Structure formats: C-alpha cells, structure tokens
Amino acid sequence: MTRSTTSAVLAAALALTAGLALGGCSSADPADGAPQLKVSGAFIPEPVNAGMAGGFLTVTNTSGTGDTLTSVTSDLSDDVQLHETKDQKMRQVESFDVPAHGELRLERGGSHLMFMELKRTPKKGDKVRIELRFKESGPIAVEVPVEARTHNPQRSGGSGEHTQHGGASPHQHQPPGHEQHATRH
C-alpha cells in the first residue's frame, strides 16, 4: 500500500468507528432515560349492572423519566374514563402521572378506570381488551380478566405483567391461571 492509500484506509476506519459510537447513542436506547413501563395486576370486577364497570391495574415505571397516562380505549366501551377519588369524592380527570422510578396504582377505593355505556355485560372468566395510551411512550394493549365482584388482589395475589421499554416490545410474565396478553402498537 502506498502512503496515501494507508491514510485513506485509516481515515475511513476512524469515520466508521465514530459513526458506530454515535449510533450507539440513539434515542431508541432504553438507557437514554425513555420511560420503561410495566402493567401488572389488571382486572375488572364483574359489574353489578349492565351500564358501567370499573377497572384496576398498576403501571410501574423503572426509568428516570416520568410519563402520563392520557387515555384508554377498549372493546367493552367507547367511553373509558379516568377517575380519581379524593376526600371520598369521585371525579373524572384528563390524565394520570406515571412518576419516574414510581408507579400509578389504579385500585379499589382510589383512582380507577370507568367503562361507561357497556357494549356487553362481561362475566367472570371473560377477557376485555384495553389499550393504554401515554404521552411519551407507545400504547400498551392488555387483555384484562373479568374477576368476581369481590376480587381483591391484596388478598389473592397479582395477575400478570406487561412491559413497555421505551420502544421495545412488551414482555409478559404471568402466574398460572392468569393469561393476559399485551402488545405494543
């Protein structure tokens, strides 16, 4: 090789190395602080009337960047509302924060989902498809089991997890008997 050929090969190698190093810092890398969300414990108690139902779940964020749950869609209702309970009063809200290194708990007696004007009356053992939509992260789809009216996960254990890692596909971990399916769109 001539001196100019060696210099050209060395310059190309350095450019390639620099490009690879910069490519490793892309915004799709979970290490960049994008929200990393996991949905677990989702359930809907069998409703007491045909008009509405409640929904409960936990969204855990393991990253240093917060996110916001902005809406929920479902095959059960065209009107899924976000409700909070404060001072024993329930009211509809526009969104819920999912704090960095924290969780959003939608549970009995507190904040929850309300499925209004049901298209059908779900029975214990049915599955309801929901899609959680966030301000920063992609949507997370979950098949939520319909449980007994008195179901209390604090007494009977959790029911499945669904993960969304700032652009990665969700991973599932379910205990036997609670097959929930989550997909990211």
At residue 169, does pLDDT exceed 90? no
Which range has the top average pLDDT, 94-108, 148-162, 168-182?
A: 94-108
pTM for this predicted structure: 0.70
Confidence (pLDDT) at 71: 98
Residue 48 CA: distances (Å) to CA of 25, 51, 123: 52, 9, 10
Confidence (pLDDT) at 1: 57
Cross-strand pairs, 2: none
Report which of residues 122 and 183 the model is more confident about. 122
Whole-number mean pLDDT of the chain?
Answer: 77
At residue 63, does pLDDT exceed 70? yes
| Burial environment of residue 32 by CB neighbours within 10 A (0 to 12, 13 to 18, 19 or more) | middle
CA–CA distance, 5 with 1 (Å, rounded to integer):
6
Q: Cα(first)–Cα(last) distance of the chain, in Å?
A: 52
Confidence (pLDDT) at 81: 98
Which one-letter DSSP state was computed for residue 28? T
Q: Which two tokens mark 79? A: 């009107």
CA–CA distance, 95 with 79 (Å, rounded to integer):
15
At residue 177, does pLDDT exceed 50? no
* Structural contact between residues 93 and 134, judged by C-beta atoms closer than 8 angstroms: no
3-state secondary structure (DSSP) of residue 14: helix
Give me the mean pLDDT over the 76-97 stretch: 95
3-state secondary structure (DSSP) of residue 122: coil
